[in-house]
Amino acid sequence: MQNINAIFKKEFRSYFNSAIAYIFITFFLGITSWLFFRTFFISGQAEMRGFFGIMPWIFLFFIPAVTMKLWAEEKKIGTAEILMTLPIRDYEVILGKFLASFGLLAVTALFSLGIPISVMYLGDPDGGTIVCGYVGLLLMGGAYLAIGLFASTLTENQIVAFILGITTCFVLLIIGEDIVLFSSPDWLYPIFSYLGLGAHYSSILRGVIDSRDIIYYLTIIGFFLYLSTLSVESRKWR
Amino acid sequence: MIEVRELTKSYGPTLAVNQVSFDAHAGEVVGFIGPNGAGKTTTMRILTCYLTADAGSATVAGYDVVENPIDVRKNVGYLPESAPLYADMGVVDYLKFMTEIREIPKSQRKERLRAVVDICGLEGVIQKDIGELSKGYRQRVGLAQSLIHDPPILILDEPTSGLDPSQTIEIRNLIKDIGKEKLVLFSTHILPEVAATCDRILIISQGEIVANGTHDELIGQIRSEDKLHVTIQGSEEAITPKLQELDGITGIHCVSSDNGVVKYEITTSQEGYYAAGDVYNVVVKNEWVLVELRQESVDLEQVFLHFTTGETSSIIPAREIMRAEDSTEEE
Nearest alpha-carbon partner for B10 in B34, B49, B39, B35: B39
**Which of A2, A9, A85 is the best mutation test for B, with the most CBs of B within 10 A?**
A85
| Dihedral sign of CA atoms B198, B202, B205, B210 in order | positive
Query: Residues A206-221: what's their mean pLDDT?
Result: 91
- Cα nearest neighbour of B74 on chain A: A87
B36: confidence class by pLDDT, cuts 50, 70, 90: confident
Edge-first strand listing for the sheet containing B2-11: B14-24, B2-11, B55-60, B63-64
Query: Residues B114-127: what's their mean pLDDT?
Result: 89
B318: confidence class by pLDDT, cuts 50, 70, 90: very low
The shortest CB-CB distance from B52 to any of A13, A88, A237 is to A237
- Cut 0.80: pTM above it: yes
B224: confidence class by pLDDT, cuts 50, 70, 90: low
Question: Distance between CA B190 and CA B183 in Å, rounded?
Answer: 20
Question: Which pLDDT score is estimated for A85?
Answer: 93
Q: Are A118 and A51 in contact (CB under 8 A)?
A: no
- Of residues B35 and B144, the one with the higher pLDDT is B144
DSSP 8-state symbol, B298: P
Residue B129 has pLDDT above 80, yes or no: yes
Nearest alpha-carbon partner for A72 in A154, A163, A169: A154
- Of residues B288 and B323, the one with the higher pLDDT is B288
Instruction: Say whether B78 and A3 touch across the interface (CB within 8 A).
Output: no
Question: Kind of pairing, strands B183-188 and B29-33?
Answer: parallel
Question: Distance between CA B109 and CA B30 in Å, rounded?
Answer: 29
Q: Three-state secondary structure along chain A?
A: CHHHHHHHHHHHHHHHHCCHHHHHHHHHHHHHHHHHHHHHHHHCCCCCHHHHHCHHHHHHHHHHHHHHHHHHHHHHHCHHHHHCCCCCCHHHHHHHHHHHHHHHHHHHHHHCCHHHHHHHHHCCCCHHHHHHHHHHHHHHHHHHHHHHHHHHHCCCCHHHHHHHHHHHHHHHHHCCCHHHHHHCCCCCHHHHHHHCCCHHHHHHHCCCCCHHHHHHHHHHHHHHHHHHHHHHHHHHCC
Tell me phi and psi for residue A18, to 5 degrees: -85, 180
Residue type, A225: L
For chain B, give the mean pLDDT: 84
Distance of CA A170 to the CA centre of its chain: 12
B331: confidence class by pLDDT, cuts 50, 70, 90: very low
- Cα nearest neighbour of B101 on chain A: A3
Q: Give the burial class of A42: count Cβ atoms within 10 A of its Cβ; 0-12 exposed, 13-18 middle, 19 or more buried.
A: exposed
- Of residues B315 and A156, the one with the higher pLDDT is A156
Instruction: Say whether A238 and B89 touch across the interface (CB within 8 A).
Output: no
Residue A72 has pLDDT above 70, yes or no: yes
Question: Distance between CA B34 and CA B309 in Å, rounded?
Answer: 10
Query: Residues B60-76: what's their mean pLDDT?
Result: 92
Question: Which pLDDT score is estimated for A91?
Answer: 94
Question: Distance between CA A181 and CA B203 in Å, rounded?
Answer: 64
Work out the percent of chain B whose per-residue pLDDT is above 90: 33
Residue type, A231: S
List, for residues A113-158, the tens digit of each pLDDT value. 999 998 888 888 888 889 999 999 999 999 999 999 999 999 999 9
List b or e across B151-188, with b for residues whose CB sees 16 or more CB atoms inside 10 angstroms.
Answer: bbbbbbbbbbbebeeebbebbbebbeebbeebbbbbbb
Judged by phi (left if over 0) then psi (alpha if -120 to 50, else beta), residue A208 lies in beta
Query: Residues B141-154: what's their mean pLDDT?
Result: 92
B308: confidence class by pLDDT, cuts 50, 70, 90: confident
Instruction: Say whether A87 and B85 touch across the interface (CB within 8 A).
Output: no
Residue-by-residue DSSP string for B37-101: TSSHHHHHHHHTTSS--SEEEEEETTEETTT-HHHHHHTEEEE-TT----TTSBHHHHHHHHHHH
Instruction: Say whether B101 and A82 touch across the interface (CB within 8 A).
Output: no
B151: confidence class by pLDDT, cuts 50, 70, 90: very high
Question: Which pLDDT score is estimated for A209?
Answer: 86
Nearest alpha-carbon partner for A102 in A71, A57, A148, A160: A148
B219: confidence class by pLDDT, cuts 50, 70, 90: confident
**Three-state DSSP state, B276:** helix
Residue B154 has pLDDT above 50, yes or no: yes
Question: Distance between CA B267 and CA B250 in Å, rounded?
Answer: 6
Q: Does A237 touch chain B (CB under 8 A)?
A: yes
Quote the minimal CA–CA distance from B112 to chain A in Å.
17
B223: confidence class by pLDDT, cuts 50, 70, 90: low
Question: Distance between CA B162 and CA B26 in Å, rounded?
Answer: 28
Residue B10 has pLDDT above 70, yes or no: yes
Residue B326 has pLDDT above 70, yes or no: no
Residue B235 has pLDDT above 50, yes or no: yes
**Which of B101, B128, B138 is the best mutation test for A, with the most CBs of A within 10 A?**
B101
Question: Kind of pairing, strands B153-157 and B183-188?
Answer: parallel
Residue B135 has pLDDT above 50, yes or no: yes
Spell out the alpha helix ranges (H) of chain B.
40-47, 69-74, 91-101, 106-119, 135-147, 165-178, 191-197, 215-222, 236-244, 272-285, 300-309, 318-330
DSSP 8-state symbol, B285: H
Query: Residues B304-319: what's their mean pLDDT?
Result: 57
When mean pLDDT is compared across A19-28, A183-192, A227-236, B149-158, the lowest value belongs to A183-192
List, for residues A7-24, the tens digit of each pLDDT value. 999 999 999 988 889 999
DSSP 8-state symbol, B129: B
Rounded to two decimals, the ipTM of the complex is 0.86
Q: Does A190 touch chain B (CB under 8 A)?
A: no
Instruction: Say whether A6 and B97 touch across the interface (CB within 8 A).
Output: yes
Q: Rg of the Cα trace of chain B?
A: 25
Query: Residues B114-131: what's their mean pLDDT?
Result: 90
Question: Which pLDDT score is estimated for B311?
Answer: 54
Query: Residues B49-77: what's their mean pLDDT?
Result: 92
B272: confidence class by pLDDT, cuts 50, 70, 90: low
| Dihedral sign of CA atoms A186, A189, A190, A191 in order | positive
Residue B314 has pLDDT above 80, yes or no: no
Residue B315 has pLDDT above 50, yes or no: no
- Of residues B272 and B286, the one with the higher pLDDT is B286
Question: Which pLDDT score is estimated for B330?
Answer: 39
Residue A176 has pLDDT above 90, yes or no: no
Question: Which pLDDT score is estimated for B225?
Answer: 67
Question: Distance between CA B294 and CA B265 in Å, rounded?
Answer: 10
Query: Residues B69-98: what's their mean pLDDT?
Result: 92
A177: confidence class by pLDDT, cuts 50, 70, 90: confident
